[in-house]
A and B are shown apart, each in its own frame.
Chain A
């Protein structure tokens, strides 16, 4: 049986060694991310660092756009990865890991908003949106600052659903599940959010 397994030694861009034994008879070929996730599920924090580095850009972008506050976005990003580490055992591979992580991130963000919402208004309007745009697209010319500003100024609920649907590509049904509102309400909120963004852009 030993012949059916092989030891993979991979080195990610950050230079940590990743050693996994994979029974290819059972699993078939796995991507580097899949292998890192498996190693992390087995309790290997170095492998989880690889998972973090592979996903931090997208997760931080989501947190930044949903919060519009760089400090809060970084705190949320940390929360997401700590929660992911704690919940890794529940990832069964039914979906792509990145999908699982994004759903978890949205849950963390919405839960945080609900918690804070009881204490204070969470509607931040960041005037220095260029700061976000530069952070988001360091190598992309022609940044859509006006569009980012229009999104940032949406009411919190409208912004959440618009970002999830039109930027992140979640399905209506998934957004309804994540936000705990009906499908019809989600659609109405998104239509309204789009209209508000259009109005802002046409001003």
Chain B
């Protein structure tokens, strides 16, 4: 070794993260260099003192009351139910984000490739009026979509090993956002199961998920 041990090397040595060869080199140098030995000892002592500092410090007052109050406020905010309009707006954003033609399928009547989606495209206007005759078809459609989604999810599971971590993370983020939208629609439907806007909303979110899964399935089956 030429010259003294540099800062990075002495730190790594004291922390025991040098390779065996480097450790031997450093120790050979230390055996002959008082200056570096003193430097290493000072560092070792500092790390021991730092590790020995207290890691418990009670606050000067009980903070629980303030925390509890904020928890209740936070819970209240979480319990706020979304209006149908808010849910629909959120779904429009979701549809745009996922870059799809779901909105067109629902309201513009563009061709779609599943019986369920055809049923949805027949739904009356978007003014929130109920259309009792179409409701059973929409509810059947949600079941169909659930089955299709489950099938494609199994393809995704089997194909996970073919996708890199970054791609998987992107897919998961998209799916999580869509799943949340689906869950919100389902929760809203629990209290108003015959609301056709909510039923369409659920289907639209399912379609978004289906589209993402189709892309993934196509990618992993190439």
Contact surface of A with B, Cβ cutoff 8 Å: 45, 48-49, 52-53, 56-58, 60-62, 64, 70, 73-74, 77-78, 81-82, 85-86, 132, 135-138, 140, 144, 147-148, 162, 166-169, 187-188, 190-191, 194-195, 197-198, 201
Q: List 11 A-B contacts (CB under 8 A).
A: A45-B71, A57-B57, A60-B57, A60-B58, A78-B67, A85-B67, A135-B57, A136-B57, A147-B49, A188-B8, A198-B42
Q: Considering the complex of A and B, which 10 residue pairs feature the smallest CB-CB distances, nearest first?
A: A61-B57, A57-B56, A166-B50, A136-B57, A137-B54, A136-B54, A82-B70, A81-B67, A85-B71, A60-B59
Interface residues of B (CB under 8 A from A): 7-8, 11, 42-43, 46-47, 49-61, 63-64, 66-68, 70-72, 74
Tell me the smallest distance from the CB of A34 to a CB of chain B, in Å.
20
Closest partner residue, chain A, to B77 (CB atom): A86
With a cutoff of 8 Å between Cβ atoms, the chain B residues found around residue A77 in the complex are 59, 63
B71 in complex: contacting residue of A48, A64, A74, A188, CB < 8 Å: A48
* Chain B contacts for A57, CB-based, 8 A: 56-58
Q: Separation in Å of the B75 CB from the closest CB of chain A?
A: 8
Contact across chains for A191 and B63 when beta carbons are under 8 A apart: no
Q: Which residues of A contact B57 (CB under 8 A)?
A: 57, 60-61, 64, 132, 135-137
The B interface is mostly helix, strand or loop, or mixed, namely helix
Q: Are B49 and A168 in contact (CB under 8 A)?
A: no
Contact, CB under 8 Å: B11 / A167? no
Known: A45-B68, A45-B72, A198-B43; 20 extra A-B contacts, CB below 8 A, are: A56-B58, A57-B56, A57-B58, A58-B55, A60-B59, A61-B54, A74-B59, A74-B61, A77-B59, A78-B67, A132-B57, A135-B60, A136-B53, A140-B54, A144-B49, A147-B49, A162-B50, A167-B53, A191-B11, A198-B46
Given contacts A56-B63, A147-B50, A188-B8, contact A168 B68 (CB under 8 A): no
Q: Which B residues are CB-close (under 8 A) to A45? A: 68, 71-72
B7 contact from A56, A136, A191, Cβ within 8 A: A191
